[in-house]
Structure 1
Amino acid sequence: MNNPLARILKPLFQRKPAPKKVIFIGIDYRCFSLAKTLLDNNKQAQQTIEITAFIDDEPWNNRTQVHGATVFSPSEISALVRKHEVALIIQIQGESIHIADNIWDGILKTKAKLITLEQDQDLATMREMVYQACLA
């Protein structure tokens, strides 16, 4: 493929892979900021991210919207993973949401990966770790 025009046009016609669906455990500032960073980076990213849901155990947050995704209670996470074929569950260490062991058992039986990020990492590092987990 030595044709210069073909080299220019090929990237324009290549399809991007389907977005990887993710769920965030928590809606604190770090989760909110990382989610925004991932969504803002979708235009340049080789692998786009689609936020399926946020998980929070505060009843007043249930069914609210964050970055276009609905907030659900922890008891719903396993069903959400299966229904939406979620590829990745993201949690940031220090988040105080309690998810029962039987719910974790249900999640671990799916193909979804769980990534736990450190609270003191910068957003760029977190973003790269999420992309690496999506590609693995």
Structure 2
Amino acid sequence: MLNQLKRLFWRKPKPTNVIFIGIDYLCFSLARALLDGNKQSEHTIEITAFIDDEPWNNRTQVHGSTVYSPSEISALVRKHDVKLIIQIQGESISIADNIWEGIFKTKAKLITLETGQDIKTMQTIVYQAL
């Protein structure tokens, strides 16, 4: 009976807002794995945005999240209380130093994943960073 009451009143913690820098295959695959993992994980993740510097991708949707230009990232971090920014090594998106300075003044963490890692390893690293 106690277990039934716990399940009734237990709430999952608020999802952690993350931003992906890039929309290449690895970012897309990792984002999908993290969203699929929300069902089993104690840490739920909500993808606030993807960042890409190609103008034709601006304001498109990837996994239900909007793609923004790099100039908007610091405002998105503050507005949505983003806790984690994920980038994959080798992503060639150019973000100006003054934008990085604005990001680093917030509490958001930046993690850089290596391209040689498999998706499961990347997923584990992201969960550890939360």
| TM norm structure 1 | 0.92
Whether 2:125 is the aligned partner of 1:129: answer yes
Shift of 1:9: 4.1
Letter in 2 for 1:111: K
Report the counterpart of residue 47 of structure 1 in structure 2. Answer: 43
The one of 58, 66, 74 equivalent to 1:62 is 58
Whether 2:60 is the aligned partner of 1:75: answer no
Q: Find the aligned partners of 2:63 and 2:28 in 1 and give their Cα distance.
A: 8
Report the counterpart of residue 110 of structure 1 in structure 2. Answer: 106
Q: Find the aligned partners of 1:26 and 1:12 in 2 and give their Cα distance.
A: 39
Shift of 1:6: 1.1
The one of 63, 82, 88 equivalent to 2:84 is 88
Q: Find the aligned partners of 1:11 and 1:41 in 2 and give their Cα distance.
A: 20
Report the counterpart of residue 22 of structure 2 in structure 1. Answer: 26
Q: Find the aligned partners of 2:51 and 2:123 in 1 and give their Cα distance.
A: 19
Shift of 1:8: 4.8
Unaligned 5+ segments in structure 2 are none
Matches within 5 A, 1:7-26: 7-26=3-22
Structure number with bigger Rg? 1
Unaligned 5+ segments in structure 1 are none
Q: Identity of paired residues, percent?
A: 76
The one of 4, 28, 35 equivalent to 2:31 is 35
RMSD (Å) for aligned C-alpha atoms: 1.0
Q: Find the aligned partners of 2:7 and 2:105 in 1 and give their Cα distance.
A: 37
Letter in 2 for 1:26: G
